[in-house]
Structure 1
Amino acid sequence: MSYLIAVVALVGALCVVDLVLTLGVVRRLREHTKLLDALYEAVDLMGGPPAAGGRLGVGDVAGDFEVTTADGARLTRDLLPEGTVVAFLSPDCRGCHERLPAFASWAAGQNRSRVLAVVDDRAGDPTEMIATLRPVAQVIVDGAMSGAFGVQAYPTFLQVAAGGRLLASAPEISRLPAGAPA
């Protein structure tokens, strides 16, 4: 009987040690997440890395483009209104699907002419994203348009001035000046 009590006590002690170690790992992961968030903020405040390699930095102007929205309207870089938010999304991107509801909710409270969703049609079926975004944003289905803005990863959210000059870039809508809650 005492042997059984000793085994139960040992297993219980091992479980407690495992729990303490797991909580330590979770705490450490949270610290790393905060550090990575701070790094994102620092890079965004500095305008991101230099424009070399195709990525636009704050103040750079997007390349020329001429596209047609899902509603049939013609859009060019020079037709972008001041403060336009441009979201680059891809149907095969898990992060894009995770951020889609928050972006659509944010966009529903905005002037539709100042919200542009660019859905990459080179990978996956864009039908679901288009259906979600079309009521709240101008939707463009064109994978090549990411080149005009130097987008290298999905999702990417940009805020641009009239004429396509980059004002801000972020991996989430809430990190843009336009996306921050009032």
Structure 2
Amino acid sequence: MPYLAAAVVLIGLLSVLNLVLTLGLIRRLREQGAAQPQDAGPPMALEPGAEVGDFTTTTTEGEPVSRAILIGLIGFFSAGCEPCHDLAPRFARLATGLPRLAVVSGDDPELVAVLSPATRVVVEDHNGVVSRAFQNTWTPALYLIDGEHRVVAAGGRLEDLPIESPA
């Protein structure tokens, strides 16, 4: 009988120790989560200063597009992406004087129609040549590219880039 009582006490002490350690772990995870910025934006594969990879493709109008002529504002949009549909009209009417290229992943004629009057549009699969050149897996994603084919700025909103956007 004394062995049984000792076993029950030992199990009880181990349970209390487990509870204390679990609560401490939960508190530490909450502190770490609070320390990280909540609005960090989408994960961008090519950060400012990175060089865009090589690619060659054609726009919906049959115009050739390659890394060699790439400069300006590049936007990645995808079918079924609500934020992409919200951003597309603002991207299309952006009056900066910068050349623009919109890359639409998937079959979305409505999105292409919104973008195509004002910008060159490339339609490709989610892992198309332009997406691979930018190592881009997120939409919407915007990149500002300089004359040396390097990323100047990247973000998920027009406000993330150092450009003037319409009101």
Does TM, scored on the shorter chain, surpass 0.5? yes
User: Aligned equivalents of 1:59 and 1:180: distance in 2?
Assistant: 23
Could you tell me how far 1:138 is from its partner in structure 2? Answer: 0.6
- Aligned residue number for residue 96 of structure 1: 84
**1:31-46 correspondence to structure 2 within 5 Å:** 36-37=38-39, 39-40=40-41
User: Aligned equivalents of 1:110 and 1:68: distance in 2?
Assistant: 24
Could you tell me how far 1:79 is from its partner in structure 2? Answer: 0.8
TM-score by length of 1: 0.63
- Aligned residue number for residue 80 of structure 1: 70
Equivalent position amino acid for 1:87 in 2: G
Equivalent position amino acid for 2:73 in 1: V
Could you tell me how far 1:59 is from its partner in structure 2? Answer: 0.7
Is residue 156 from structure 1 mapped to residue 141 from structure 2 by the alignment?
A: yes
- Aligned residue number for residue 132 of structure 2: 147
User: Aligned equivalents of 1:126 and 1:176: distance in 2?
Assistant: 26
User: Aligned equivalents of 1:87 and 1:126: distance in 2?
Assistant: 15
- Aligned residue number for residue 118 of structure 2: 136
- Aligned residue number for residue 154 of structure 2: 169
Q: Is the 8 A contact 1:79 1:163 kept in 2?
A: no
Alpha-carbon deviations, 1:110-161, whole Å to 9, x = none?
Answer: 44x711000012xxx3211111111110101123121110112110011011
Q: Which has the larger radius of gyration?
A: 2
Could you tell me how far 1:163 is from its partner in structure 2? Answer: 3.9
Alpha-carbon deviations, 1:17-62, whole Å to 9, x = none?
Answer: xxxxxxxxxxxxxxx9xx634x44xx9xxxx77xxxxx21211111
- Aligned residue number for residue 48 of structure 2: 58
Could you tell me how far 1:180 is from its partner in structure 2? Answer: 4.4
Structure 1, unaligned stretches of length 5 or more? Answer: 1-31, 50-54
User: Aligned equivalents of 2:85 and 2:116: distance in 1?
Assistant: 15
Could you tell me how far 1:86 is from its partner in structure 2? Answer: 0.3
Q: Percent identity?
A: 31
User: Aligned equivalents of 1:58 and 1:114: distance in 2?
Assistant: 19
Q: For residues 138 and 110 of structure 1, do their structure 2 counterparts lie closer, same or farther at Cα, with a shift above 3 Å needed?
A: farther
Higher share of residues assigned helix:
1
- Aligned residue number for residue 6 of structure 2: none
Is residue 71 from structure 1 mapped to residue 61 from structure 2 by the alignment?
A: yes
- Aligned residue number for residue 118 of structure 1: 103
Q: For residues 102 and 180 of structure 1, do their structure 2 counterparts lie closer, same or farther at Cα, with a shift above 3 Å needed?
A: closer
